[in-house]
């Protein structure tokens, strides 16, 4: 019986805390938060491989994003989840840099307007935080709501995107 190939990982210090980047054979599989809830993203065995080409590219793009020099990620992605979750996560990829959408907007976009709570649950399990921009999803009234990285990180990311090009740096 063959064992599953381990996922490669490396850590990246960032303005929102230490991130753990995880890649599989198909592409980037996860961006995990320093204090991520255990089991939020289900992965197999992890092997420290900081020179993995997908991880190096993800690091380069994230650093450019935090510097305000990158607005669209192009690193190959490998989502693992249910068909519904993958549908929600693909919808996240369509939210433009600096824009926000509500859970209701996402539910309508995927053709399931009554699935607002399920969209919220799928959003909460998004394995590719920042890159599949779940931080751009807010409550219907525009309020910041749950985020795996914490509301302070969510606010930081949204502020970073709003201030891009103004020369201002988020507090």
Instruction: Using the predicted structure, report yes or no on whether residue 159 has a pLDDT greater than 70.
Output: yes
* pLDDT tens digit sequence for 106-132: 999 999 999 999 999 999 899 999 999
Distance of alpha carbon 147 from alpha carbon 92, whole angstroms? 14
Mean pLDDT along residues 26-36: 91
Q: Please tell me the least confidently modeled range out of 7-11, 51-55, 166-170.
A: 166-170
- CB atoms under 10 Å from CB of 107, counted, come to 20
Per-residue pLDDT band at 94 (split at 50, 70, 90): very high
Distance of alpha carbon 59 from alpha carbon 51, whole angstroms? 11
- pTM of the prediction? 0.88
Q: What does the pLDDT read at residue 4? A: 59
Q: Which residues are catalytic?
A: 134
Q: What does the pLDDT read at residue 37? A: 80
Which one is predicted more confidently, 19 or 3? 19
Instruction: Using the predicted structure, report yes or no on whether residue 97 has a pLDDT greater than 50.
Output: yes
Per-residue pLDDT band at 168 (split at 50, 70, 90): very low
* pLDDT tens digit sequence for 1-12: 444 568 999 999
Instruction: Using the predicted structure, report yes or no on whether residue 38 has a pLDDT greater than 90.
Output: no
**Which residues on adjacent β-strands are paired with residue 61?**
none
Whether 29 and 38 have beta carbons less than 8 Å apart is answered as no
Distance of alpha carbon 109 from alpha carbon 137, whole angstroms? 13
Q: What does the pLDDT read at residue 87? A: 95
Distance of alpha carbon 49 from alpha carbon 88, whole angstroms? 29
């Amino acid at each position: 019986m063959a064992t599953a190939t381990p996922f490669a990982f490396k850590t990246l210090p960032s303005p929102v805390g230490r991130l753990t980047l995880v890649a599989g054979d198909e592409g980037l599989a996860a961006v995990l938060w320093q204090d991520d809830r255990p089991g939020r993203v289900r992965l197999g065995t992890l092997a420290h491989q900081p020179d993995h080409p997908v991880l190096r590219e993800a690091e380069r793009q994230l650093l450019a994003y935090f510097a305000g020099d990158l607005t669209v990620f192009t690193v190959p992605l490998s989502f693992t989840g249910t068909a519904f979750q993958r549908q929600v996560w693909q919808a996240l990829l369509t939210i433009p840099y600096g824009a926000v959408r509500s859970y209701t907007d996402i539910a309508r976009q995927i053709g399931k307007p009554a699935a607002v709570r399920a969209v919220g649950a799928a959003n909460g399990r998004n394995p590719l935080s920042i890159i599949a921009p779940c931080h751009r999803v807010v409550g219907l009234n525009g309020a910041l709501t749950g985020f795996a990285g914490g509301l302070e990180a969510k606010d930081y990311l949204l502020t970073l995107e709003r201030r891009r090009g103004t020369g201002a740096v988020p507090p």
